[in-house]
């Protein structure tokens, strides 16, 4: 995919794959890179955005209103979004021995987070 001169939004961008993708988009010449992650990652998110000349938008992408605010912030700063990389996820790290009830709740949380893909597609198109 060619992202030169494109506006790109990356969720889950405070670390890991999301951070790497955001950095790659910036290096490839994207016109604007908007990085989003949970509010608890605010400092790390701001650091990533600062290092790549992007925009940090703390957001819980399981909440439709926060996806709408993320898209509005991106479009206000850079114009229409060309690429929405929906990378926010859920980890079991440290929860490997959780009981069935805990695993069920984590699964439900994961399904709620799946909505970020749907909300992102609905509101950035």
Q: Report CA-CA distances (Å) from 124 to 7, 44, 51.
A: 11, 25, 25
* 29, 30, 60, 116 from 65: Cα distances, Å: 30, 26, 9, 11
CA–CA separation, 58 and 4 (whole Å): 25
pLDDT, position 64? 82
**pLDDT < 50: residue spans in the chain:** none
Neighbour count for residue 104 (Cβ, 10 Å): 11
Q: Is the dihedral of CA 43, 3, 122, 80 positive or negative?
A: positive
pTM of the model: 0.77
What is the Cα–Cα distance from 81 to 102, expressed in whole angstroms?
37
């Amino acid at each position: 995919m060619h992202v030169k001169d494109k506006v790109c939004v990356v969720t889950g961008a405070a670390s890991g794959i999301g951070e790497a993708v955001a950095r790659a988009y910036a290096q490839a010449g994207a016109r604007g890179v908007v990085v989003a992650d949970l509010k608890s990652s605010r400092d790390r998110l701001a650091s990533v955005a600062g290092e790549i000349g992007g925009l940090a938008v703390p957001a819980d992408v399981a909440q439709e209103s926060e996806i709408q605010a993320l898209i509005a912030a991106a479009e206000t700063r850079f114009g229409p979004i060309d690429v929405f990389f929906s990378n926010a996820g859920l980890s079991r790290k440290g929860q490997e021995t959780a009981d069935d009830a805990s695993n069920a709740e984590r699964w439900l949380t994961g399904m709620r987070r799946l909505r970020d893909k749907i909300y992102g597609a609905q509101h950035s198109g």
